[in-house]
A and B are shown apart, each in its own frame.
Chain A
Amino acid sequence: MMTQIVFYVFAAVLVLSATMVVCARNPVHSVLFLILAFFNAAGLFLIAGAEFLAMTLVIVYVGAVAVLFLFVVMMLDVNFTRMREGVQRYAPIGGLVGGVLLVELVMAFARWRSASNIDQIAHLVPSSPTRTNTAALGDVIYTHYIFLFQSCALVLLVAMIGAIVLTLRDRPSGRRQNIDRQHDRVPHDSLEMLQVPLGAGVAAQGGFLRPHESYDVAAVPGTYGTEAWRVREATEETQAVLVVTKPAESTKGKGDA
């Protein structure tokens, strides 16, 4: 009796929030209703005794997937008036797709039969009162269906690598922090002490203090701050350079400071 009442509460809220996902005007509200729907689905799992599935549903879908949904939807710059204009136009198409899906579901469920070899499969999951369903699931997945399980994992791995490959952009001009290099750096690598006569300035000796290896055409005395230097700055990663003549312009090697 109690279970039935709880079931109908969960089911009603589930259906209602699923409807609101589609009907809510604000996409953020839609996502929040989706989360509510996930929750109630987890509640239904609990009633069915599938505690592991219920918790996994909350952890995976509510805790991770929906957070990312919400993350993206919140950042979208949505024009509500323009969105509402589209409803009239797309409603018939959407209704048609929904109707087709509904008919297909009804047809599928009307002909639902258990597999003929149900007796042979059933022994894979010996049920006993002390056995938790986490253990039962683990037994089935990792013992009897390990290869199918591993192939699912591989599909996900491929999808993950694919997403990274598609979205990773290597910007050569960007200043990226290399922590290992920073830790390896010693004063000798980036500094060179010069003897500067009083009143002479350092322009005559190389403009700024830096290691011999980094001397090149673009860095001849007096060229600092010119176009040639800027080109070099934008294309190459250089060691930190301490400018003694123009401290205000020592923008080089920000990340290495």
Chain B
Amino acid sequence: MADFFFHTTLGQILLIVLESLAVLVPLLLGVAYLTLAERKVMAAMQLRKGPNVNGPFGVLQAFADAIKMLTKETVIPAGANRMLFLFAPFLTFSLAMIAWAVIPTGNGLAIANINVGILYLLAISSLGVYGMLIAGWASNSKYAFLGGLRSAAQMVSYEVSIGLVIVCVLLAVGSLNLNDIVLAQRHVWFCLPMFPMFIVFFISALAETNRAPFDLPEGESELVAGFFVEYSALAFGLFFLGEYANMFLMSGMVSILFLGGWLPPLGIAPFTWIPGPLWLIAKILFCLFVFIWVRATFPRYRYDQLMRLGWKVFLPFSLAWMVLTAGFLMVTGLLPGGVG
């Protein structure tokens, strides 16, 4: 059996397909239930009940929404660029999926354990902006276009600070491999020694996924629904799922970079009984809860405040922290990989 999977071409292809399914099926289920969880958690925070009609505690609400979305008509506005209009949601959705190829769920347990894993994640997340920009432009609508432009400017700005935060982590790890990044946190999770960077990264992740309080690209009160205002039915559904899958991805990145990935909090008995993937899922769910918590708590930023935060606060701060980290590691001789 093992011989078939590891030594024949067909077996290897089959193995990759099975591995992908093992990641994507839980992910998509998670995305479906994240929409429900968001409504339930927000409802609890606002002293409401949230969806409670479909199934016990409303657990079937996600499927009711999906069926409703599938049975609706796809409306393509007049003057829209048809090809690009339909291409944009597929792009957003598939980008949110393919990034999961490198996320390790256990020691060496990733579909692709590549040496430049973190760069791959950075590259994929920086592509997310195209889905929105193309959607905004192809819709031939001024609200959608404004939403697209806003999201482009916002995501490019916050990518800079995300990149610098990642550099800080990489300085301490000495490798671009996600597996090595997690293993480097065996003794202490990076969220403790790099607590400020952890916060900067989390806030940048909020901005990168267009979540409240940075949901300006889709600010309902001013742009109706931003870049996907013209979308309906399945195309809208794909955007929606893509956004939530991106939240999962960003939570996964936070977990791997700062919360020790699949590692248990302490390497002693009761914690080590729980398998690694469950720890990773627990950490991702915690991050997602904070995403929702933030949404229920903070009012939306104004656009100039958003840009000020990104460029005038986070950029200099993370740059200074990077220099500090490098200097500290150099002085204490903790710099990994040996200094020649």
Q: Which residues of A contact B (CB under 8 A)?
A: 28, 32, 35, 51-52, 54-56, 58-59, 62-64, 67-68, 70-71, 74-75, 132, 134-135, 139, 143, 177, 179
Contact = CB atoms under 8 A, between A and B. Distances in A.
B55 interface: no
Contacts of B130: 35, 67, 70
Contacts of B175: 132
Given A52-B119, A55-B119, A59-B123, A67 B156 contact: yes
Contacts of A68: 156
B120 interface: yes
A68 B134 CA distance: 13
A74 B133 contact: yes
Nearest to A138: B337
15 contacts: A28-B84, A51-B115, A54-B116, A55-B116, A55-B120, A56-B119, A58-B126, A59-B123, A62-B126, A63-B127, A67-B129, A71-B152, A75-B149, A132-B176, A134-B176
Contacts of A71: 133, 149, 152-153
Contact of B137 (A28, A54, A55): A28
Contacts of A74: 133, 137, 145, 148-149
Given A67-B130, A132-B116, 6 more contacts: A32-B134, A55-B122, A63-B122, A63-B126, A63-B127, A134-B116
A54 B149 CA distance: 27
What band does the interface of chain B fall in when counting residues whose beta carbon is under 8 Å from A? 20 to 34
Interface in B103-117: 114-116
Nearest to A29: B84
Interface in B164-186: 175-176
B270 interface: no
Nearest to A26: B81
A143 B338 CA distance: 13
Given A67-B156, A71-B133, A74-B137, A132 B115 contact: yes
Contacts of B333: none
B340 interface: yes
B119 A59 contact: yes
Contacts of B127: 58, 62-63
A132 B337 CA distance: 12
B137 A177 contact: no
B149 A64 contact: no
Contacts of A64: 126, 156, 159
B3 interface: no
Contacts of B119: 52, 55-56, 59
Contacts of A63: 122-123, 126-127, 129, 159
B73 interface: no
A55 to B, nearest CB: 4
B308 interface: yes
B115 A62 contact: no
A126 B114 CA distance: 21
Contacts of B122: 55, 59, 63
B11 to A, nearest CB: 15
A134 B120 CA distance: 13
Name which of A58, A67, A70, A135 has the most chain B CB atoms within 10 A of its CB: A67
A181 B308 CA distance: 15
A134 B130 CA distance: 27
Contact of B123 (A32, A55, A143, A179): A55
Name which of B127, B149, B159, B308 has the most chain A CB atoms within 10 A of its CB: B127
B123 A62 contact: yes
B176 A67 contact: no
Given A67-B129, A134-B116, A177-B304, A58 B123 contact: yes
